[in-house]
Amino acid sequence: MDQGATAFAILAAILVLVPLLAIFAYLVIKGIGSVNLAFLTQTPKPPGEAGGGMANAIVGTGLILAIASVFGVPLGIGSGIYLAEYGRNRFGDFIRFTADVLNGVPSIVIGIAVYSLIVVRQKHFSAFSGGVALGIMMIPTIARATEEMLLMVPNVVREAAYGLGIPKWRTTLSISLRTASAGVITGCMLAFARVAGETAPLLFTAFGNQFWNLKLNQPTAALSLQVFTYAISPYDEWHKQAWAGALILIVMIVGAVAAVRLTTRGSLKGA
Amino acid sequence: MGVGIEVHGLNAWYGKNLALNSIDMSVPANHVTAVIGPSGCGKSTFVRCLNRMHETIPEAYAEGSVKVGEMDVYGSGSDPVEVRRRIGMVFQKPNPFPTMSIYGNVAAGLKLNGFRNRKQMDELVERSLRLAALWDEVKDNLHKKSGASLSGGQQQRLCIARALAVEPEVLLMDEPASALDPISTSKIEELIFQLKQHYTVVIVTHNMQQAARVAELTGFFLMGSLIEYDKTEKIFTTPADKRTEDYVTGRFG
Amino acid sequence: MRSRFQQGLDELKEKLLRMGGLAEQAIDRATEAYRTRDSKFCQMVLAGEPAINDAEREIDELSLDLLAMQQPMAVDLRFILAVLKINADLERVGDQAVNIAQRVLDLISEPEVELPVDIPRMADGVSTMVQRALESFLDGKAEVAEAVLQMDGIVDRMKDEAFVMLVQKMTDDPSCTRQALDVLLIARNLERIADHATNIAEDVIFWVRGADVRHGGAHYRE
């Protein structure tokens, strides 16, 4: 009986790996042929012309995700702190409910909302508005993860800090959040990985761009948009490039998560 | 040097429940005073009122007069954070900061209170660890090992060192040895005996032998009231109150 | 666990009372020997002494066990301390009874003479003191113990009177010096037993009230 349960658990774990590996393998098979120096360094060529790349989209995705993180991570962690440390009341329950609703809002709706709030007022599409849209999507995940992780910090640890005459805000930031940091970082990474591949919210915000752009207030290319555009185009060459773009996007996300994991792991153990 | 504690008419509540009923108690400086009583008698609440830790629990509050040396703990201008800095506390379960090194744990109270002088901090950390009788065991791993990697008894002495590092005048201990084995317990008790040279110590314990071993004065709490408060030997040989006698002889509950 | 401790305490009390019974019996037999000049009673006292000594050792051991295993506090601690001291007093009472029996044996071997001392009356008083002291221990009654303290003075006076009378007798009629000396020693041993009874009463008061009344202790007079 016990062995049967163990075998089932192992089987389930392997079955979970299968689609993941299959997707990745398929992406590599379809996309690796088009990944070359030109793809990584050049802007797209007009339709029908061979060659060109997605360099502007790679940089654009990085730019938009940076804006999203700068915007979403502090707000997410901040509201998570509020919920865990101060939110044992009606207002806290309201915030928690709102966050859960926000988590369930279709991403395109968030794109439209940001479009009407920012793009319409500024009168043009921009990297900034794209970052804001993705940042909004990051907040609920990060907030709830931060809350859960802070609630897991034993209360005796907080009491120890209060007992030393450390003010509550200081205790929260330097003791509780630090103790919970591994979980909070995982939450941030989950949120980051989730929004990195989003296309819909960027349609009305970052909009996409066939040329280089590093200005925050100008339409900007993003890998997901580029893949979308190329994938629905009638050109074979673009289809190949779409596969390559998807591969690069996955590699970027995995790379970013791994990099954060590696840099934070050392500091947690040795502190 | 420690200072005395004067408690007058101290009441404490959890929401609508009265947990302490008009406590008067005078704790002399540089002595060890034990607080005993059955579970739920208010003994822990009492010491947590002395440094205003009680009110960190939602809906808990206290009123009355507590004077620690010159400091009016519940005075109108009194800042709970400042009160807690001057009155150290050691808790029932060893609670080192899990992500910090041994050094980081002892220095935490100083660092997070804005203390920056690195050389002086090193000295205070060493002094505190020596006072807590832990220095020799950890001096080679101050930065390498985390506080959580120590044994239970060492963790508790680390917590004592951490409390001592901010140089309090009074040290409150809430059942500090209840989670420890007998050898660690006797180390902590020996330490408590040494500490009274520098501090006033108030210790909550459910172990009567422990109170008898370490404390010069003992107070017996029952249902939120201080029933009897006298020299420890009096409490354990010839208590004046029947309820105290029933409790110390184990006939109670 | 507590009830096991209570059992231990009850057992201790029972053992001590049984030992007290043996000591009382020894006093009564020695007195009887004096009255009847029958050496049979003296032999009974001498034969009974080892039992008292055994009881003393048993009580010491049980007390030590209870102290070590149960770490008694307050009234229980005072009880065991009182038992230990009463134990030693009772053992001494047994020794004094043996001393008396030996004097009686000597007395029987000499011609009977008329002496101006009422030993049976004095022995009665002493026996009552021991009895009351043990009674106060049985019931934990400090008032009874206090009465014992009052009686000690009377016995002391009886011994002093006997002393004066017997010295006078020895001076007047040196031929009965040996008998007079035996009776004098018997009176002194009886007075010692009264002192032990007084000690027992004081220990009972210490156990019950937690007050030290020895040597007119300050707590008690307040």
Question: Which site among A89, A164, A178 would you substitute to test the B interface, given the most B Cβ atoms closer than 10 Å to its Cβ?
Answer: A164
Task: Tell me if chain A has a CB within 8 Å of the CB of B213.
Answer: no
- Note the pTM of the prediction, 2 decimals: 0.78
From first to last of the 271 residues of chain A, give the pLDDT tens digit: 788 999 999 999 999 999 989 998 999 999 888 888 888 888 888 877 777 888 899 999 999 999 999 999 999 999 999 999 988 889 999 999 999 999 999 999 999 999 999 888 888 899 999 999 999 999 999 999 999 999 999 999 999 999 999 999 999 999 999 999 989 999 999 999 999 989 889 988 888 888 888 888 888 888 999 899 888 988 888 888 899 999 999 999 889 888 888 887 755 443 3
The ipTM is 0.88
- Out of A88, A160, A181, whose CB is closest to B97? A160
Q: Is residue A8 part of a domain?
A: no
**CA C180 – CA C115 distance, rounded (Å):** 7
Chain A residue numbers touching B83 (CB-CB < 8 A): 165
- From CA C126, how far away is CA C26, in angstroms rounded? 12
- Sign for the CA dihedral angle at B49, B50, B52, B56 comes to negative
- Smallest CA-to-CA distance from A31 within A222, A221, A195, A227 is with A227
Structural contact between residues B189 and B213, judged by C-beta atoms closer than 8 angstroms:
yes
The domain total for chain A is 1
DSSP string of B17-65, one letter each residue: EEEEEEEEEEEPTT-EEEEE-STTSSHHHHHHHHTT-GGGSTTEEEEEE
Residue A218 confidence (pLDDT): 86
Residue A165 placed within a domain: yes
Of C2, C5, C74, nearest to B239 by CB-CB distance is: C74
C151-156: average pLDDT: 92
A43 located within any domain: no
**In 3D, which of B214, B216, B246 has the Cα closest to residue B232?**
B216
Task: Classify residue A60: in a domain, yes or no.
Answer: yes
pLDDT at B91: 92
| C217 pLDDT higher than 70 | no
Average pLDDT over residues B146-150: 90
Mean pLDDT of B186-191: 89
Question: Does residue A33 belong to any structural domain of this protein?
Answer: no
Taking the Cβ of residue A164 and every Cβ of chain B, the question of whether any pair is shorter than 8 Å is answered with yes
Q: How confident is the model at residue B253 (pLDDT cuts 50, 70, 90)?
A: low
What tokens were used for C119? 């030993």
Q: What is the pLDDT of residues B43-96, one digit of tens each?
A: 999 999 999 999 988 889 999 999 999 899 999 889 999 999 999 999 999 999
Select from B96, B112, B162 the Cβ nearest to the Cβ of A174.
Answer: B112
Higher pLDDT, B119 or A51: B119
Residues with Cβ within 8 Å of B236's Cβ and at least 6 positions away in sequence, in order, are B208, B211, B212, B218, B248, C73, C74, C77
Structural domain for A128, as ranges:
54-270
Q: What does the DSSP assignment read for A130-193?
A: HHHHHHHHHHHHHHHHHHHHHHHS-HHHHHHHHHTT--HHHIIIIIIHHHTHHHHHHHHHHHHH
Question: Does a structural domain hold residue A177?
Answer: yes
The residues of B whose Cβ lies within 8 A of any Cβ of C are 208-209, 212, 235-239, 244-245, 248-251
Q: What are phi and psi of C220, to 5 degrees?
A: -70, -40
Report the residue of B249, B251, B252 to disrupt the C interface, i.e. the one with the largest count of C CBs within 10 Å. B249
Question: Considering only CB atoms, which chain B residues are within 8 Å of A164?
Answer: 84-85, 88, 108-109, 112-113, 162-163, 166
Task: Indicate whether A11 belongs to any domain.
Answer: no
In three-state secondary structure terms, B166 is coil
Q: Which long-range contacts (CB under 8 A, 24 or more apart) does B180-184 make?
A: B180/B152, B180/B153, B180/B156, B181/B152, B181/B153, B183/B153, B184/B151, B184/B152, B184/B153, B184/B154, B184/B156
CB proximity list for B160: less than 8 A, separation 6 or greater: B90, B131, B132, B171, B176, B188, B191
Mean pLDDT of B221-234: 94
C34-86: pLDDT as tens digits: 999 999 999 999 999 999 999 999 999 999 999 988 888 889 999 999 999 99
Tell me which residue in B51, B93, B113 faces A156 most closely, judged by beta carbons. B93
Is the per-residue pLDDT at C127 higher than 80?
yes
The CATH number for A230's domain is: 1.10.3720.10
Is A15 a member of any domain?
no
| B229 band by pLDDT with thresholds 50, 70 and 90 | very high
Picking from A156, A166, A179, the nearest residue to B109 by CB comes out as: A166
Rounded to the nearest integer, the mean pLDDT of chain C is 90
- Inform me whether the C-beta atom of residue A270 falls under 8 Å from chain B C-beta atoms: yes
What residues of chain B, 102 to 131, have a C-beta less than 8 Å from chain A?
104, 108-109, 112-113
pLDDT at A266: 55
Confidence at residue B33, expressed as pLDDT on a 0 to 100 scale? 96
**Paired residues of B23 in beta bridges:** B10
Of B136, B138, B133, the C-alpha closest to B104 is: B138
**HEC per residue, A190-212:** HHHHHHHCCCHHHHCCCECCCCC
Contact call for B166 and A88, based on CB within 8 A: no
